[in-house]
Structure 1
């Protein structure tokens, strides 16, 4: 991995904060949607044998994909909006 120059600390820090906030909001939103759709709270411990395999896998996929998509979008939007000359990625 290439070293980051000192001038990129601001975008990295703001990207981290935006990603953290997006993860928090996405988890809350997904938990609300899950509760409305399934009629019960999402599983807290997907490894527990008390949780059915279908619900465990469903929640893991929904939470994993949903949170990561929200995080990526928030970080990219923050870096692009606040620091348009800074590249958020490596050449793509």
Structure 2
């Protein structure tokens, strides 16, 4: 009888622990990788369209499709590369940061593999100390044989 009572107490403890722990598992590394890769693809597609729209808004022309084409001036090709590249990177950063922010808000933790940025509180900074150069001694110069030549 005592054995059954201990077993039922143990079962009750396990049931209480199971009820206290959340039923769903927090998303892990695989979920973050999927979200990160997906956001990179979406950002690439959005960035390409955004750069074309910005180029048309500024110049009123289609963006150059090839920088090697003789009808495209060098200045126009360079401007397209700079403007297009900058807009593409800005869109990618905005989308990927948004994804990471969403992850933090939904899970309460940083994405897997991302470490928190550590800041040094004011007053704890250590000032660099300049080391005194070692005094040179001519008399303690090490003799080197021809065979090893100082190796």
User: TM-score interval w.r.t. the shorter chain?
Assistant: 0.7 to 0.9
Normalising by structure 2, we get a TM-score of 0.49
Structure 1 runs of 4+ with >6 Å offset: none
Number of aligned residue pairs: give it. Answer: 86
Normalising by structure 1, we get a TM-score of 0.75
Task: Identify which of 55, 64, 67 aligns with 1:43.
Answer: 64
Structure 2: unaligned runs, 5 residues or longer = 1-27, 118-151
Once the two structures are superposed, what CA deviation does each residue of 1:24-80 show, in whole Å capped at 9, x if it has no partner? 122212212211221210001123232111111111111111111211221121022
Larger radius of gyration: 2
- Which has the bigger relative contact order, CA under 8 A and spacing at least 6? 1
The structure with the greater share of residues assigned to helix is: 1
User: Matches of 1:90 and 1:53 in 2, distance apart?
Assistant: 43
User: Matches of 1:24 and 1:88 in 2, distance apart?
Assistant: 26
Structure 1: unaligned runs, 5 residues or longer = 1-6
SS of 1:21's partner is helix
User: Matches of 1:81 and 1:11 in 2, distance apart?
Assistant: 11
CA RMSD of aligned residues (A): 2.1
Tell me: CA distance 1:8–1:87, structure 2 relative to 1, closer, same or farther (3 Å). closer
